[in-house]
């Protein structure tokens, strides 16, 4: 499927990460521990596939970006899902994600 984003949107795909947070060694009350120990991080890494012609953000297809997951728009098109996000929701660019640099 060929998808062209418009209106300041980036076409993205989620990058699967095997990152696991270390468990805390401090005992917390159950209600607080449930809020602190989320199973999924709020922000995730995505790969930019394409960008709308009016995007002013200095990203190019092939770069990795960090986004809050709840800001990603998921649209069903035919038998697939297209992920897009507005350019102003990008938190940053990750330049060394695949190389494993810290």
Q: Model's pTM, two decimal places? A: 0.74
- Domain span at residue 89 reads 9-17+28-94
Distance CA 44, CA 65 (A): 8
Look at residue 23 and tell me if it is in a domain.
no
Longest dimension (CA), the chain: 51
Alpha-carbon torsion 53, 59, 63, 67, what sign?
negative
Look at residue 102 and tell me if it is in a domain.
no
Digit-by-digit pLDDT tens for the chain (102 residues) are 789 999 999 999 999 866 555 555 666 677 766 666 655 678 899 999 999 999 999 999 999 999 999 999 999 988 899 999 999 999 999 986 655 555
Look at residue 2 and tell me if it is in a domain.
no
Look at residue 100 and tell me if it is in a domain.
no
Tell me how many domains the chain contains: 1
């Amino acid at each position: 499927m060929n998808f062209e984003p418009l209106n300041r949107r980036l076409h993205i795909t989620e990058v699967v990460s095997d990152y696991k947070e270390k468990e805390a060694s401090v005992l917390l009350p159950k209600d607080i521990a449930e809020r602190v120990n989320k199973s999924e991080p709020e922000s995730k890494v995505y790969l930019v596939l394409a960008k709308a012609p009016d995007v002013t953000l200095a990203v190019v297809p092939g770069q990795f970006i960090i986004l809050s997951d709840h800001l990603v728009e998921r649209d069903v098109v035919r038998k697939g899902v297209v992920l897009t996000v507005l350019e102003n929701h990008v938190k940053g660019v990750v330049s060394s994600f695949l190389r494993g640099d810290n």
